[in-house]
Amino acid sequence: MNKPQGASMYASADKIYPREIGGRFDKLSRLATIVLLGLFYTIPWLNWDERQAVLFDLPARKFHLLGLTLWPQDFPYLAMLLMIAAFALFFFTALAGRLFCGFACPQTVWTEVFIWMEQWTEGKRAQRIKLDKAPWSWNKLRRKGSKQILWITFSMWTGFTFVGYFTPIRELGADFMALNVGGWTLFWGIFYGFATYGNAGYMREQVCKYMCPYARFQSAMFDKDTLIISYDEERGEPRGGRKRSVDPREAGLGDCIDCQLCVQVCPTGIDIREGLQYECIACAACIDACDSIMDKMDYPRGLVRYTTENALHHKKTHVLRPRMLVYATLLLILITGLMTSIAMRTPVILDVIRDRNTLYRELPDSMVENIYTLKIINQDERPRSFSLSVEGIDGITLDGVDDVINVDGGGVLSLPVRVRAHQDDAYGIMTIHFSVTAVDDEGVSVIEDSRFLGPTP
Amino acid sequence: MVNEEYRGTQQWSRDKQAVFAVVWISFLTAAMGTMVFFALFDPVDLSGIFDEDLEIGRDAGYAAGFFFFWFLCALCSGVTAFLVRTAPKRNAKKRQR
């Protein structure tokens, strides 16, 4: 962006060099990174009954989740799952603030790994700044080059894994080794790998500041009882440097020694002492930084800490509050609903469509005939045989249907059927029940209602 | 002292903010739209409707659908962002004083 100086209120985007800090929360975030990315990279390699345990087989339009196979008609489950995810996010945000941002968001997690690689190759913060300022040399080329190699290899592996959720990963791996990956598989692999490289290598927390909608929304879910990271102004102010031997109370100082470490470690470049800001992704690096200084100064820890607004103002923090109960109830209902419907799911679906052209047909022998189209969807992976029956009227019969109906695995069978009943029994509008039952398992059965029309008596 | 090096220097320009926000938000929306759309429709069933000889595989259908949604969403939020950002300021004169 070539703009004359002063045309924009904002300086151009200079690189952020977050300073590394050890501590409790750093350990926690490393653990979260390893666990979450560990799951991401290993799940596609796990098998279940000789096929990939988690495989979103888009070309075949079916999803394998452990023992479950889902078809496009199971879409409501996906919608419910998304709703559960949304409410879980609301719930945890109201309870614990942006815990998700700091520890579990893919953006944070991948950025963390990319920063590790940066540190291995380019060294610590001061070394990195120096290296960037230095003219090109063999050393700089070597360090920058090895960083790029690590980043690109890791991105490629990430793209490969991502595609492995949609294409059987073992075959993909063999193809990859033989350099035989092509077409859309290759395209999406590179696409996802490149997105990882750009987001985690270069854009980092700028994504959180400028691109993430959640970062802006979350304040709506916050209240005075939400867990936030905050500077204890009452305790810290007036801030100022002092010798370790000086008693701050006598010198009229608070506990903040104004060392700026909390600012230096902040990946979004804010000063937590200015209060809660939407840029804060709650990574808790400033808590680690401040605690380390407090330890050195022999002051109690927690000048910057996880707390709530109420606690800061010496009020009681309420965990149970109406908002939490509403979110929790909705979450519970949705989760129970999803679990029950999956548990009660029969792997066969029956749709009954009544023929709209004719109301009914009168046959000889005072019989009445209605015509329907049945759709039998076999949600199992293997072909299955079903038997069809109808009831609801005395002496009702099915015509034009075989005793055993075979449907392919995951297949949909359209079956026109004629249903007959005697005029004496079938008059006006009556309700009838079609039922489809698997021949090999009586538990696999569904009943679907429809209307049977006859002459008005 | 370290402060100087840190604060205020890491901000993206307004243009860059707008472009990346548009690209990213339309990406997410398109991903959602693609998911819902292709859960309901099979690209193979759709491939014949414009031209009978046109046969698109599922992979290509999904990709085409996704990029179409992405383009559409980016167009929508891009134009919106443009209009919002270039609109005449309310009480611009008053503010200058």
pLDDT at A323 over 80: yes
- What's the predicted TM-score (pTM) here? 0.80
**Residue B8 touches partner A, C-beta closer than 8 Å:** yes
Q: B17–A210: do the CB atoms touch at under 8 Å?
A: yes
- Beta strand spans in A282-347 (E): 304-307
Candidate ranges A67-81, A154-168, A176-190, A198-212; pick with highest mean pLDDT = A154-168
- Beta strand spans in A177-303 (E): 228-231
Strand order in the sheet with A62-65: A54-57, A62-65, A68-70
**Residue B24 touches partner A, C-beta closer than 8 Å:** yes
**Residue B44 touches partner A, C-beta closer than 8 Å:** no
pLDDT single digits (tens) A217-226 = 888 888 888 8
pLDDT single digits (tens) B28-38 = 999 999 988 98
pLDDT attached to residue A62 = 83
Give the CA distances from residue A14 to residues A5, A26, A195, A260, A320, in Å, rounded to whole numbers and listed in that order. 15, 25, 21, 19, 44
Q: For the residues A67-91, what does the mean pLDDT come to?
A: 85
Q: Which of A58, A63, A162, A262 to mutate to test the interface with B (most CBs of B within 10 A)?
A: A58
pLDDT attached to residue A7 = 39
Map residue A236 onto helix, strand or coil.
Answer: helix
Q: Which of A372, A446, A353 is nearest to A407 (CA)?
A: A446
| Kind of pairing between the strands at A304-307 and A228-231 | antiparallel
Q: Please tell me which residue of chain B has the smallest CA distance to A14.
A: B10
pLDDT at A454 over 90: no
Cα-Cα-Cα-Cα torsion A134, A137, A142, A144, nearest 10 degrees, comes to: 30
Q: Which of A100, A106, A109, A110 is nearest to A218 (CA)?
A: A100
Q: A184–B59: do the CB atoms touch at under 8 Å?
A: yes
Q: For the residues A247-267, what does the mean pLDDT come to?
A: 86
If one counts every other C-beta atom within 10 angstroms of the C-beta of residue A71, the result is 19
pLDDT at B6 over 50: no
CB contacts of B85 in chain A (<8 Å) are: none
pLDDT single digits (tens) A270-310 = 889 988 888 888 889 899 999 999 998 888 888 999 988 88
- In percent, the amount of chain A with pLDDT more than 90 equals 21
- The pLDDT confidence band at residue A149, using thresholds 50, 70 and 90, is very high
Q: A1–B35: do the CB atoms touch at under 8 Å?
A: no
- Residue A417's contacts (CB-CB under 8 Å, 6 or more residues apart) are A371, A372, A373, A374, A388, A398, A399, A400, A401
- The pLDDT confidence band at residue A241, using thresholds 50, 70 and 90, is confident
Q: Please tell me which residue of chain A has the smallest CA distance to B58.
A: A59
Question: Dihedral sign, CA of A90, A92, A96, A97?
Answer: negative
- The pLDDT confidence band at residue A73, using thresholds 50, 70 and 90, is confident
Identify whether the C-beta of residue A110 lies closer than 8 Å to the C-beta of residue A199. Answer: yes
Which segment of A301-305, A368-372, A399-403 scores lowest on mean pLDDT? A399-403
Residues in chain A whose Cβ is within 8 Å of chain B = 1, 3, 8, 10-16, 58-59, 61, 72, 75, 78, 183-185, 187-188, 203, 206-207, 209-213, 260, 263-264, 266, 268-269, 271
Which of B11, B21, B40 is opposite residue A13, by nearest beta carbon? B11
Q: A263–B7: do the CB atoms touch at under 8 Å?
A: yes
Arithmetic mean of pLDDT over chain B? 80
pLDDT single digits (tens) B24-80 = 999 999 999 998 898 888 888 777 676 666 677 788 888 999 999 999 999 999 999
Length of chain B: 97
Q: For the residues A164-177, what does the mean pLDDT come to?
A: 88
Q: b/e string for A216-252 if b means 16 or more Cβ within 10 A?
A: eebeebbeebbbbbbbbeeebeebeeeeeeeebeeee
Size of interface A-B (CB pairs under 8 A): 84
pLDDT at A214 over 90: no
- Which comes out higher in pLDDT, residue A159 or A276? A159
pLDDT at A385 over 70: yes
Q: How far is residue A106 CA from its own chain's centroid?
A: 9
Q: A206–B8: do the CB atoms touch at under 8 Å?
A: no
- What's the rounded Cα separation, in Å, for the pair A332 and A338? 10
Q: Please tell me which residue of chain A has the smallest CA distance to B16.
A: A1
pLDDT attached to residue A146 = 93
| Kind of pairing between the strands at A47-48 and A51-52 | antiparallel
pLDDT attached to residue A114 = 92
Which of B10, B14, B58 is opposite residue A16, by nearest beta carbon? B10
Map residue B63 onto helix, strand or coil.
Answer: helix
If one counts every other C-beta atom within 10 angstroms of the C-beta of residue A425, the result is 14
Q: A59–B39: do the CB atoms touch at under 8 Å?
A: no
pLDDT single digits (tens) A6-25 = 334 443 445 667 677 778 88
pLDDT attached to residue A70 = 84
- In percent, the amount of chain A with pLDDT more than 70 equals 96
pLDDT at A58 over 60: yes
Q: For the residues A372-377, what does the mean pLDDT come to?
A: 89
- The pLDDT confidence band at residue B92, using thresholds 50, 70 and 90, is low
pLDDT attached to residue A3 = 38
pLDDT attached to residue A99 = 85
pLDDT attached to residue B10 = 59
Q: Please tell me which residue of chain A has the smallest CA distance to B15.
A: A1
Identify whether the C-beta of residue A377 lies closer than 8 Å to the C-beta of residue A349. Answer: yes
